[in-house]
């Protein structure tokens, strides 16, 4: 089946639905209309620019350029993780924890997928490398942000209990162990729920795009299975690394909880 191309008018009609939703938010005094319109505008601009960049990349596949774009995507994902925290780590760690954890998980899994599983030619072919990395970073970013936010907020609420356990002789990792486990569970719940609903309640985005693009449904399903498994692994490893690094930073060398020095309120 031939791919049906969308025109500016089609996208404008879809944008009208967002405008209608913003009007409804204003009428109901929800207070989200401004943020809704700004983020919808960001989506249009960012995806349009990405489409232009990817078109150029597909025509001029170059390892150095693809590597630079990948690092830029990682940098922006790390920034988004920091921006989503209610209580942020001060200094470079406020940014570094998210970026390092996603570098460990998303980049490693993307390389394994390109070199061992999919094996495109060349291995850094942008239609595979950038697409896979983008999906992994996006989902890992959400899991890491949720896990870190849960960790820092719960630690602040339970500061007294943690310090009491430290006074009783527990090591820092024991004193904060329950909080770490709860933070990890909160970070993994969205992808676990997504995997449970895939194919039964929802038709995942990548599979939908491939089918709309003319791919056989079974082949689209295989790629979607691969992506869901990779995203699950990336989110799990990324959230685990982020929570471990963050919880370690919450204590000093003498195993004292230093919440006041390491965390700052989001203004």
Element (H, E) at 87: strand 87-89
DSSP string covering 8-66: HHHHHHHHHHHHHHHHHHHHTT-S-HHHHHHHHHHHHHHHHHHHHHHHHHHHS--HHHH
pLDDT, position 207: 74
Please tell me whether residue 182 adopts helix, strand or coil conformation: helix
pLDDT, position 2: 59
Predicted model pTM: 0.79
pLDDT, position 19: 93
pLDDT, position 194: 84
Please list, in sequence order, all residues whose beta carbon lies within 8 angstroms of the beta carbon of residue 149, skipping any fewer than 6 positions away.
84, 85, 86, 87
Instruction: Give me the tens of pLDDT residue by residue for the chain, a chain 267 residues long.
Output: 556 777 888 889 999 999 999 999 998 888 888 999 999 999 999 889 888 887 887 787 788 888 888 999 899 988 888 888 888 888 788 888 989 999 989 989 999 999 998 888 888 888 888 888 988 998 899 999 999 999 998 988 888 888 888 888 888 888 888 999 999 999 999 888 888 887 776 666 777 777 777 778 888 888 888 888 998 999 999 999 999 999 888 888 888 887 766 666 544
């Amino acid at each position: 089946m031939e791919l049906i191309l969308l025109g500016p008018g089609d996208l404008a009609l879809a944008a009208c639905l967002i405008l209608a939703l913003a009007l409804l938010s204003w009428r109901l005094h929800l207070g989200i209309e401004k943020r809704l319109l700004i983020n919808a505008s960001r989506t249009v601009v960012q995806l349009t620019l990405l489409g232009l960049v990817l078109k150029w990349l597909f025509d001029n596949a170059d390892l150095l350029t693809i590597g630079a774009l990948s690092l830029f995507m990682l940098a922006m994902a790390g920034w988004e993780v920091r921006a989503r925290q209610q209580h942020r780590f001060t200094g470079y760690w406020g940014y570094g924890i998210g970026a390092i954890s996603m570098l460990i998980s998303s980049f490693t899994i993307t390389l394994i997928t390109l070199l061992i599983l999919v094996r495109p030619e060349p291995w850094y072919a942008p239609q595979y490398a950038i697409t896979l990395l983008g999906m992994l970073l996006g989902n890992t970013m959400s899991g890491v942000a949720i896990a870190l936010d849960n960790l820092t907020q719960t630690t602040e609420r339970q500061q007294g209990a943690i310090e009491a356990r430290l006074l009783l002789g527990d090591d820092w990792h024991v004193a904060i162990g329950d909080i770490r486990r709860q933070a990890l569970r909160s970070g993994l719940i969205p992808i676990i729920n997504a995997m449970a609903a895939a194919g039964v309640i929802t038709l995942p985005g990548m599979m939908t795009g491939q089918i709309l693009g003319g791919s056989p449904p079974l082949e689209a399903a295989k790629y979607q299975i691969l992506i869901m498994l990779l995203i699950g692994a990336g989110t799990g490893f990324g959230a685990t690394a982020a929570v471990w690094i963050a919880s370690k930073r919450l204590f000093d060398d003498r195993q004292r909880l230093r919440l006041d020095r390491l965390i700052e309120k989001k203004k």
